[in-house]
Amino acid sequence: MSAEEEIYVLPGDSIGFAEEYVPGKNVAEIGGKLIALVPGNVVKNDSRFLMSIDGTKKKLKFFNGDIVYGQITKNDQRQIIISVAGVQKGHEIASCNAEGYIRTGGGRREDGPPLSVRTGDLIRAKVIRVGQNLELTIHGANLGVLKTRCTRCRNVMVLVNSELYCENCQRTENRKIAPDYGNLKI
């Protein structure tokens, strides 16, 4: 990574090793790896061997049709709540801090089959209404779950023959997956 190159990470991403750098602001050492605690850009200080995450959020204005990235924090019969961490602006992803929802209960605005997502899933969604909170949808060609964990053992699920498979439990689960599932490169 050169001095000018910016790498955007999400919480839980591995950004380096403890042998090379000391964890700085918004970084923790877990099992010899440096793990991002917040979404943001990686900041390396080679003179002090320090690695940090710049998690400052810019106030962004959302528009209908914007593509957003986030994590599902609540999933009930009426709605799915999403903590939005990034929004796609052109070819770049801008860090943000917003809340969105997807209607699932009575008076549902979603078109298509019932949603199959779980709390903790990382998703790509589209803004369909801007208000106090963003109304989102994951019905669409490039939308859906980008990364998820097994509901039984919490291992990361892999895509095998168009199904999500847990290599630990040897079981499959159903989600509305994005075509680039597992290749989360933001």
**Average pLDDT in the 164-185 region?**
87
Average pLDDT, rounded, for the chain: 84
Q: Are 142 and 179 in contact (CB under 8 A)?
A: yes
> Is the pLDDT score of 1 beyond 60?
no
Q: What is the pLDDT of residue 89?
A: 76
pLDDT in tens, 50-70: 999 987 655 678 889 999 999
What's the rounded Cα separation, in Å, for the pair 82 and 105?
Answer: 16
Q: What is the pLDDT of residue 3?
A: 47
What's the rounded Cα separation, in Å, for the pair 134 and 118?
Answer: 19
Map out the domains of the chain with their CATH numbers.
8-54 (2.40.50.100)
Q: What is the pLDDT of residue 87?
A: 87
Q: How confident is the model at residue 131 (pLDDT cuts 50, 70, 90)?
A: confident
Beginning with the edge strand found earlier in the chain, give each strand of the sheet holding 27-30 in spatial order.
Answer: 14-17, 33-36, 27-30
Closest CA to 178 of 154, 149, 148: 148
Q: What is the pLDDT of residue 18?
A: 87
> Is the pLDDT score of 109 beyond 60?
no
pLDDT in tens, 85-106: 888 877 777 777 789 999 886 5
Whether the predicted model's global pTM rises above the 0.85 cut: no
**Average pLDDT in the 147-171 region?**
90
